[in-house]
Amino acid sequence: MRLWDLTPSAALIALLAAPEISSAFYLPGVAPTSYKPGDLVPLHVNRLTPIGSNIDGTLRSVVSFDYYHPAFHFCRPKPEPKHVAESLGSIIFGDRIMSSPFELKMGVNETCKSLCTEKFDQSSSHFVNRRIAQGFALNWLIDGLPAGQLIEDEVTKTKFYSQGFALGQNDEQDMHLNNHYDILIDYHEVTPGQLRVVGVIVQPDSRRSQKDGEGDAQGSCGIGGPPLTLNENGETEVQWTYSVYWRPSATAWATRWDKYLHVFDPKIHWFSLINSAVIVVFLTITVFSVLVRALKKDIQRYNRLDSINLDDLSGTSAAIEDGVQEDSGWKLVHGDVFRTPKHPLILSVFLGNGAQLFVMAGFTIVFALLGFLSPSNRGSLGTIMILLYTLLGFIGGYVSARVYKTLGGEKWKLNIGLTPLLVPGIVFSTFFLLNLFLWAKQSSGAVPFTTMLVIVGIWFLISVPLSFAGSWVGFRQPAISAPVRTNQIPRQIPPSSTYMRPIPSMLLVGILPFGAIFVELYFIMSSIWFSKVYYMFGFLFICYCLMIITCAAVTILMVYFLLCSENYHWHWRAFLTAGASAGYVFANALIYWITKLHLGGFVGSVLYIGYSLLISFLFFILTGTIGYFASWAFVQKIYGSIKID
C-alpha cells in the first residue's frame, strides 16, 4: 500500500509500525475509546449540510442548518440539548455539535425504538420539503465517526461510506421525509470485553404508519408500508424511530477512517498529477537552460565589451562592431532597475503578508502530511491554520519592514501599522459581511458572535504585537544593498511589443501556476462545497511545490524579457503577473458554479462568490509574493555579475 492511499493517521501509524508501541503516540482528541458491552456509546448530532441533489448530482444550496432548528422537529434530549466542546477551527468551518436523545448500548441490538412524536405545521412542512429537494443530509457522529451511507463508486466498483445520510427522498412527484433510521455499527474487539467503534452506516427510511411498532420491541416499524409525505396544507404527525444493529468487524481502529476516504479514483488522480508534474518540470528545465545560456552569453559579452572599452585596445573592429550592434538589452537599464517603484508601501505590505501566508501554507501542509491533522481530530486543520497565521505575524512584519526599507520607503510608521491590518482587515470584513447574510438566513453556518470576538481578540492581542515586533527588528537591519548604483535621471522606456504589455503578459504568465494546481483545486472545491473530507495532503504537497516552481520560473522569464525590452518597472509587474493566476482560480470557481452548482437563492450565490473572491485574493497575494521574490533574487544576481564602471 502506498503511503498516499492511507489516511494521515493511518500513515503515521504505518510509519511507527507496531500498533502497541504507536498507541503511546496517539494525539489528543484521536485516542481510541474502548467500551464494555452494554456501555452507552454517544451519538452526537452536527448541523445539516447540503450534499447535492440525488437526481443530477448538482449542489443546490451552500447554507447549512442547526440540527435543532425548530422547523425540523427532531427529537430533543431531556432536559436540553447540550453543546459539545469544539475547537476554533471546527466552529469557523461550520461544525455545530450537540447531544442527542439516541441511546446506543454497545453490542446490544435493538429494533424499532420510538424516540418521540412531533406535529409538523404547514410552514415547517414547507421548510423541510424545500430542504429535501435541495438534498440536505444529516450529520451524526458516533464515537467521533461520521455516520454515512454505503455507496458504490461507478468507476472503480469500490464501496465507500459517504459522509452524512439523506434527510429525505425526492421522487418525481413527492418529498418523503426519512423518519426511521437503521443504524448499523461495526465494532472491533481488541481484547475480550474491550470493544471499539470502527464503522457507522445509517440507512434512513420513510414510513407513514408505525403504530404497530410503538414501544414494542417486536414491532416492524411500518416496514414495507407507504412512505411519509409532509402535508403543506395541514398538520402531519410524525413518529421518529430507530433500530440499532451491532456487527463484529475485523477493521482495526487505526484504519477506521479509510472507508470514508476512498472517494475519488486514485488512479485518475495519480495520472493527472504525474501529467502536470512532467509538464511543469519539462517547462522549467527548458526555461532555465535557455535563460542560463542567454544570460551567460550576455554577461560574457558585456564584460568583454567593458574590458575593450576600458583598455582602449585597438582590438578587432569586429568585436566593437558587434558591441555597438548589440549594445542593447537588460544591461542598459542598470541605472534604473533598483529605482523605487510606485507605491512601495502597498507593495511591501502585500509582500509581508504574502510571506506570512507562504510559510503558513507550507507548515500546514507538512503538518497534515505527517498525520497531525487527521480527519478524526475535527477542525484541527482550521485551528492550526489560524494559529500559524497568528504566530507568523512576526515574519509578516519583518519581511514588510525589510522590503520597505530596501525599496527606499520613508513612511515607516504607516508600514508598521498597515502590515498586520490591511490584508487581515480585508479578509475579516469580507468574512463578517458574508456572515451577516447567514445570520439573516438563520443558518447554522453563521459564526457565533462570541467566536468573532475571539478571532478579533487573537488578531489584536497576539498577531498585531508580533507583527510590530517583526517590523521593529526588520527596520533595525540595514537595507539590502543593490549591486549597481541608480542614476539620477530616469531612462526613457521604449514602446513595448504587444505581449509585453501588462494585461497580455499577466494572462500569459498566470495560466501556468494555475495549471500546476488545477487538478488539486477541483478536489479542494468539492471538499469545501460538498462537505467531503479532504485528506490527500501528499498530492497537495507535491502540487504546492510544483506551483512554487512554476510561479518562480515563469515570472523570472517574464522579467528577463521585460528588462531586455529596456523596461525597468519590474517590481509591480513581477508581483502582478505571478498573482494573475488568482484570476484563473476565480474564473475556475465561476465555471464550477455554472456546471456543478444550481444555487437558486440570492444568498447562496452571494456566499459562493464572496468566498471564492476571498480565496482568490489570498491566492493572489501568495503567488504574487513568490513571483516577486524569485524575480528579485534573479535581478540581484544578474546585475551583480556584470561589471559597470
Ligand X SMILES: *[C@@H]1O[C@H](CO)[C@@H](O)[C@H](O)[C@H]1NC(C)=O
Question: Which residues sit at the interface with ligand X, rule CB under 6 A?
Answer: 109, 245-247
Closer Cβ to ligand X, 245 or 611, answer by number: 245
What are the two backbone dihedrals, phi and then psi, of residue 319, each rounded to the nearest 5 degrees?
Answer: -65, -40
Minimum CB distance to ligand X smaller for 79 or for 224 = 224
CB of 73 to ligand X, least distance (A): 29
Query: Minimal distance in Å, beta carbon 590 to ligand X?
Result: 48
Compute the least distance from the CB of residue 183 to ligand X, in Å: 11
Whether the link from the prior residue into 227 is cis, omega within 30° of 0, is: no
Q: Does residue 65 sit in helix, strand or coil?
A: strand
Question: Can you give the C-alpha Rg of the chain in angstroms?
Answer: 30
Helix/strand/coil for 617: helix
Task: Retrieve residue 346's grid coordinates.
Answer: 502597498
**Best CA proximity match to 125, nearest among 71, 170, 173:** 71
DSSP state of 153: -
Which CA distances in Å does 437 have to 205, 379, 447?
33, 23, 11
In this structure, are residues 204 and 180 in contact, taking their beta carbons and an 8 Å threshold?
yes
Q: Which residue intervals of 16-153 are DSSP H helices?
A: 19-22, 88-92, 122-133
| Least CB distance to ligand X at residue 224 (A) | 18
**DSSP 8-state symbol, 23:** G
Q: Say if residue 128 is exposed, middle or buried (CB neighbours under 10 Å; 0-12, 13-18, 19+).
A: buried
Whether cis (ω within 30° of 0) applies to the bond prior to 19 is no
Measured from the CB of residue 186, what is the shortest distance to ligand X in angstroms?
Answer: 10
DSSP assignment letter at 477: S
Cβ-based nearer residue to ligand X, 249 or 496: 249
DSSP strand pairing (236-248 vs 180-191): parallel
Show the CA angle centred on residue 288, arms to residues 287 and 291, nearest 5°. 85
Task: Between 244 and 351, name the residue whose CB sits nearer to ligand X.
Answer: 244
Tell me whether residue 102 or residue 246 sits nearer to ligand X (CB atom).
Answer: 246
**Dihedral Cα 205, 208, 214, 216, nearest 10 deg:** -60
Rounded least distance, CB 246 to ligand X, Å? 5
The CA distance from 554 to 584, in Å, is 16
For ligand X, the closer CB: 66 or 205: 205
3-class state of residue 200 by DSSP: strand
Cβ 109 to ligand X shortest distance, Å: 4
Largest pairwise CA distance in the chain? 113
Rounded least distance, CB 203 to ligand X, Å = 12
- Residue 173: CB minimum distance to ligand X, A: 33
Q: Tell me the closest approach of the beta carbon of residue 262 to ligand X, in angstroms.
A: 24
Distance between CA atoms of 635 and 486, rounded to whole angstroms?
A: 14
Closest distance between ligand X and the C-beta of residue 38, in Å?
11
Nearest to ligand X of 184, 482 (CB atom):
184
Provide the total of helices (H) and of strands (E) in the chain, helices listed first.
Answer: 18, 14
Cβ nearer to ligand X, comparing 192 with 478 = 192
Q: Which is nearer to ligand X, 111 or 567 (CB)?
A: 111
Residue number, 203 or 272, with CB nearest to ligand X: 203
* Residue 471 to residues 221, 346, 358, 402, 537, Cα–Cα distance (Å): 68, 15, 18, 8, 33
Q: Helix, strand, or coil here: 370?
A: coil
Q: Which is nearer to ligand X, 109 or 316 (CB)?
A: 109
